[in-house]
Chains A and B, each alone.
Chain A
Amino acid sequence: GAVVSQHPSRVICKSGTSVKIECRSLDFQATTMFWYRQFPKKSLMLMATSNEGSKATYEQGVEKDKFLINHASLTLSTLTVTSAHPEDSSFYICSARALLAGAMDTQYFGPGTRLTVL
């Protein structure tokens, strides 16, 4: 099946520093990847849609200069939280669109990254 990995799984950083989170599709190519944020006891909120080789499309209310997304290859997208603050602490999840032979066009989700900003 289609596997999506994220690295790191957990990260703790100091306020004001930047953190990069990687999302990789391990056994398929993903032209489209999505970044979500999950608040405690809340649903997933779509932050942005990332297409390989082009600029990400951000959802309303998401600061593109704070959450930098790069989708440089068909298997890797990165989310960089710049100048992190405690309110950025959250669970970040990526998903990747998979077009697999014999399977339906769908999204597969990574395991998530827990970011804690001190």
Chain B
Amino acid sequence: GNSVTQMEGPVTLSEEAFLTINCTYTATGYPSLFWYVQYPGEGLQLLLKATKADDKGSNKGFEATYRKETTSFHLEKGSVQVSDSAVYFCALGGNGGYQKVTFGTGTKLQVIP
């Protein structure tokens, strides 16, 4: 079955530091890959998405590239801000909104001034 493995947190960074959160997956077929973000006290928000190999999803300075050869979808940001403090979930699913989404365990990011 499908599964997602992401690095355990928490990750603590100083403001303006470079961020990488690793994510690898196991799946049959050709899933879409997602990063969701959950800010304190809020629900999940879709951060970015990639639907096929070599696609790069990007949003709010975050990027992730769908690497089929390494089955990875690492999240990166060049310069984090305090406002980026949240829990980040890597996920995979079908291309249709009616299809199941399988989530990783989440990585908590804390950015300190």
Contacts and interface: CB of A to CB of B under 8 A. Distances in A.
**A-side binding surface: helix, strand, loop or mixed?**
strand
Nearest to B106: A43
Point out which of A4, A99, A105 has the most chain B C-beta atoms below 10 A from its C-beta: A105
Contacts of A109: 36, 43-45
7 contacts: A32-B98, A41-B106, A99-B97, A104-B97, A105-B96, A109-B43, A112-B43
Interface residues of B, number: 20
B103 interface: yes
A97 B98 CA distance: 6
Given A43-B89, A44-B89, A105-B95, A111 B42 contact: yes
Contacts of B82: none
A43 B103 contact: yes
B105 interface: yes
B101 interface: yes
B13 to A, nearest CB: 20
Nearest to B104: A43
Nearest to A109: B44
B89 A105 contact: no
A32 B4 CA distance: 23
Interface string B40-59: 00111110010000000000
A103 to B, nearest CB: 10
Contacts of A108: 46
A104 B55 CA distance: 15
